[in-house]
Amino acid sequence: MPHPLGNRPSKIIAVHLNFPSRAKERGRIPAEPSYFLKPPSSLAGTGDPLNRPAGCELMTFEGEIALVVGRRAHRVAPRDAWEHVGWVTAANDAGVHDLRYADRGSNLRSKGSDGFTPLGPRLLDARGLDPRALRVRTWVNGEVVQDDTSDTLLFPFADLVADLSRLVTLEAGDVILTGTPAGASVVSPGDVVEVEVTAGTATTGRLSNTVADADPLPGWGAMPRVDDAVRADAWGPAHTREPVLDEATATALRSLSTATLSSQIRKRGLQHMTVDGVHPAGGAVKMVGTAHTLRYLPLREDLFERYGGGMNAQKRAVEELRPGQVLVMDARRDASSGTIGDILALRALRRGAAGVVTDGGLRDSAAVAGLDLPVFHAGAHPAVLGRRHVPWDTGLPIACGGALVQPGDVLVGDADGVVVIPPDLVRGLAEDAAEQEAQERFIAERVAAGEPVEGLYPLGPRRREAYEAWRRGGRRTPTEER
């Protein structure tokens, strides 16, 4: 389908970083905006395919708010710049990271291909819009992956127009892609990417494009090239592959109690690795997984709409979950307001989460208890999120129930509570904990038979031979059983 501009613009200018959420993902906040050009031949419309060349693996999407210049702008001041914007529409700044190495910064090969700038499907008249009241959302296969608003921009729209017009004359019809929010990532052939920009009830409609396989590139010039660093950059922080808990170790941990694990952690000199004050909601209790973190800050009414509305950090944390992860929340040990309820807990379950841990309150506790998802909390509470907390950010070290939890830490939970295990200790600790539990089973059998605990508990040298004979008789540790 043709793009909605009619004639081709003389230029398409794209901003590298503009949304704070994206800047946080990239780990830097620019002092001034920076730009790159996309050729007009990259324009496409809704329904046009996003062609990923054969041999490329890292096709990316970036939902954006696009400005279309309405009248010529040359050295206009910021206070007058919005008057030169004619229309607003939705855009997808697509690209292939496989070719970024060849034109680092200019992005010509990676983002300039034919069809890599879909726009539309409708233009909104800028004269009736508040430039700080626009919302951009992106869906991949029907799932929201980006959601942000223009009141958060590092560089407001008028500043961009004024800055560009100092040196580059903007002609009517030129397009400015104003940056993408957090959540941009990789898509594959068959995936459907949709972008919509709204202003109150006004909407551009959904710009919809399907990723398709394309022919391989001819065999001259720069060819696709990727490595782990390029993959991590393309996939983004939500998909950064933290140390994976291998299934054999996870199986061993599921057979071990938190009481035993806590004892072994303490033997290694770590005294504060329990999440205190939390208990299971009911239903599924045993939990083993790696931490994905979410931090709440104290409520400030003037900031709640900005940070608590829309696709806030709480919802992003749930959507960022990968199979085997535990959503761990720092709610400042304040259980007087809910930090998660049945809908988001169900979504976490569908995302493959291994569990949820919050040192705050739990809403809809009866419904959550009925899910096949271990949930540990500090107390049931009916109040909504905005009573005490503002969801602030994800994927950073937090305090939960007095324990410092880093992304990728291993969490184990049962009826006694939750322990935190550093990833580099987990395998050896699991083996030692399995041996400890084998000894304790032997001791329990002897105590049940009427023997006194002196020299038996803990296992003393005089009982070691009997224990070894008991082991040779076929009694195995959980580690050996796997």
Q: What's the Cα-to-Cα distance from 162 to each of 128, 166, 170, rounded to whole Å?
A: 20, 6, 10
For residue 209, the surrounding DSSP H or E stretch is strand 207-216
Question: Is residue 268 exposed (0-12), middle (13-18) or buried (19+ Cβ within 10 Å)?
Answer: middle
Q: 342 a known binding residue?
A: yes
Q: 26 a known binding residue?
A: no
Contact (Cβ atoms closer than 8 angstroms) between residue 234 and residue 101: no
Q: 177 a known binding residue?
A: no
Residue given tokens 């407001």 in the structure block: 156
Nearest to 410 by CA among 258, 239, 208, 210: 258
Q: 364 a known binding residue?
A: yes
Contact (Cβ atoms closer than 8 angstroms) between residue 1 and residue 46: yes
Q: What's the Cα-to-Cα distance from 215 to each of 52, 54, 56, 401, rounded to whole Å?
A: 8, 5, 10, 54
Strand 338-340's sheet: what is its strand order? 338-340, 361-362, 379-380
Tokens of 171: 């002609």
Rounding to the nearest 10 degrees, give the CA dihedral for residues 300, 301, 305, 311.
Answer: 40
| Phi-psi map region of 355: left, alpha, beta (phi>0 left; psi -120 to 50 alpha) | left
DSSP code per residue over 21-80: HHHHHHT---SS--EEEE-GGGEE-TT--EEEEET---EE--EEEEEEE-S-BSS--HHH
The one-character DSSP state at 170 is: B
Q: 327 a known binding residue?
A: no
Strands 35-38 and 355-358: unpaired
Backbone angles phi, psi at 61, to 5 degrees: -120, 155
Residue given tokens 């590092």 in the structure block: 154
Q: How far apart are CA 244 and CA 366, in angstroms?
A: 32
Q: What's the Cα-to-Cα distance from 13 to each of 37, 68, 131, 149, 161, rounded to whole Å?
A: 5, 11, 18, 20, 10
Q: 341 a known binding residue?
A: yes
Q: What's the Cα-to-Cα distance from 287 to each of 257, 274, 295, 409, 462, rounded to whole Å?
A: 11, 14, 21, 13, 37
Residue given tokens 């309405």 in the structure block: 70
DSSP code per residue over 80-149: HHGGGEEEEEEEE--EEGGGGGGGTTT-HHHH-STT-EEEEEEEEEGGG--TTS-EEEEEETTEEEEEEE
Tokens of 34: 């920076």
Known binding site: residues?
341-344, 363-364
Binding residues for substrate: 341-344, 363
Mark the binding-site residues for Mg(2+), compressed into ranges. Answer: 364
